[in-house]
Amino acid sequence: ETVVSAGSIIVRQRGTKMHAGENVGMGKDHTLFAKIEGKVTFAIKGALKRHTVSIVAV
């Protein structure tokens, strides 16, 4: 778990290997970035077992 500031790039990727969760935005090149300052959390969710990245406010 890492603390990031708003606008920080979390993951650069080709395609959606990881999906945006709460407080995370996705750029047109599928880059995930933080919308708020907080801790980064990774999870595997849903029936399709999608890898999601979320930000929890500190």
**pLDDT per residue as tens digits for the range 14-58:** 999 999 999 999 999 999 999 999 999 999 999 999 999 999 998
Residue by residue, DSSP assigns 2-48 as -EE-TT-EEE--SS-SEEE-TTEEE-TT--EEESSSEEEEEEEETTT
Q: Residues 5-25: pLDDT tens digits?
A: 999 999 999 999 999 999 999
Number of structural domains, the chain? 1
Q: 53 and 42 in contact (C-beta within 8 Å)?
A: yes
The whole domain housing 32 covers 3-57
Give CA–CA dist 48/45, Å, rounded: 7
- Domain of residue 28, CATH code: 2.40.50.100
- CA nearest to 34, candidates 11, 9, 16, 13: 9
